[in-house]
Every structure is written in structure tokens, then in C-alpha cells.
Structure 1
Amino acid sequence: MTSERERLMKVRARQKKRKPEFNRCDSHKKKKLSPSWRRPRGLHNKLRQQIAAKGKLVKAGYGSPRGVRGYHPCGMKEVLVKNPDDLKNAEGCAVRIAATVGMKKRDEIEAMAREMNLKVLNPTAGGD
């Protein structure tokens, strides 16, 4: 990892510590609302009006530096793999196996990744 990328990773880590948790408005009040962010659109919505006590709105200033966007905290680019052929494009990257991949194909992908010395971010629980 280059020194510039290392510096940007440290900047990103510092920024993430200060970044607020962006939760959906009123998700703590209603069980049916998940906390995943949704933009507030109501006319009288206090979060949309940016009343300080109601939380922060998602804005561009909270993003990570462009040079390290899409990188895993280990310092490698993260690639989503759906089949063994996708590993050819993942040279020097950290690999995340898609959730829709079945066990048979997952075992194939993990074996190929081991041969290519790639890091699998979500290996099988048994982990042969």
C-alpha cells in the first residue's frame, strides 16, 4: 500500500469516528420502520428542517476521500464475486462472496481464492 493511500485510510478512519449515525426519522418510535436511512420529505418534518436535536442529514461532506472510496479497512479494494470466473478480475483485491451464491459454488470460489492468495472477507463458517 502506498504512503498516500495509507494517509488517506487514516483520514477516513478519523472521519468515520466523528460521523454521526444516520438513522431514519422516527425509526426508534415505530417497530415497522427500519433504521436504514431514508430522506425525510414531510412538510413539517423536523429532521428535514435541520433542527439540531433531531439528528443530522446525510450530506456530501461526510464522505470518505475519493482515493480510498470502496476500499476495505484492510487496505485492499473490495470486489463482489458471484461465480468463479469473477475471481479473474479480483487480482490483488479482497473478495466478498455474494449472499445468493450456494454452498457448492461457494466452496469452488473459496478454493480458487486460496490458490490465488486472495483474502475472502466472508468465508464459510466451517472454514476448511
Structure 2
Amino acid sequence: MHIDHLDHLVLTTTDPQSCIDFYTRVMGMSLETFGNGRQAFRFGNQKINLHVRGREFEPKAHLPVPGALDLCFIAVEPLDEVIAHLRQSNWPIIEGPVARTGATGKIRSVYLRDPDLNLIEISEYPSGG
């Protein structure tokens, strides 16, 4: 068996409205509703399914808790444009820009937290990377 790519992951939130605001307004993802009124944030060919704490869909993680994720996203725009957008959105950057290592090489990243305090890393690969 070989895994090709990640299709989706599940994020558990305590405040769905703040979570939706962050992932749509700040992160630029689109909100979609699918089977049985479930919601997800779509970006590229992936999505983040949304669970509300105490009202999770089955089956679920053994201990679904808000604030336990550490996610890294590669931005379409240059990181300097991402930083300008975050500032315009009044969303604080807690670290960066800093040099890191991504799945396929060196990246440049900034870190922030979503409303549930998950760590969000937004990155760019160097030109041609």
C-alpha cells in the first residue's frame, strides 16, 4: 500500500461562527455544505471538515479537542502578500517570517493561531521550488 495525498482532515471547534470567519475571511477558503448539513472549508483539491465540540459526527477521533492541530498551508501568493493580508485582516502573526523545512524542501513561513488556538503555519517555497 502507498498513500498518494491527503484528501481531508477534521477540525473540531467550540465556536463555529468564529471558525468560519477565520477560515473563509482570513485564510480565503470557501465554505461548503454537504451530506446531512455538514460543513467543510475547501481549498485546492482538499478540504477541512468542521465538527462542533459535543456535536461531532460519527465516527470521530478518540479524543476530538479544539486547539490540538498544527497545520502548514502553502500559499498561492508570495508570503509578503500573505503578511499584508493578515495585517489588513487584523489577525496577529505570532512568529515569522522564518525559514523552515516543508515536505519537499525549504520554505519561508509565518505562524498564527485560529480562534480555537490551533497553530497555523502559512508558507511559500522559494521561486522555482
TM-score, normalised relative to structure 2: 0.22
Q: Determine which structure has the larger helix proportion and give its number.
A: 1
Q: Which has the higher contact order (CA 8 A, sep 6+)?
A: 2
Greater Rg over alpha carbons, structure = 1
TM-score, normalised relative to structure 1: 0.23
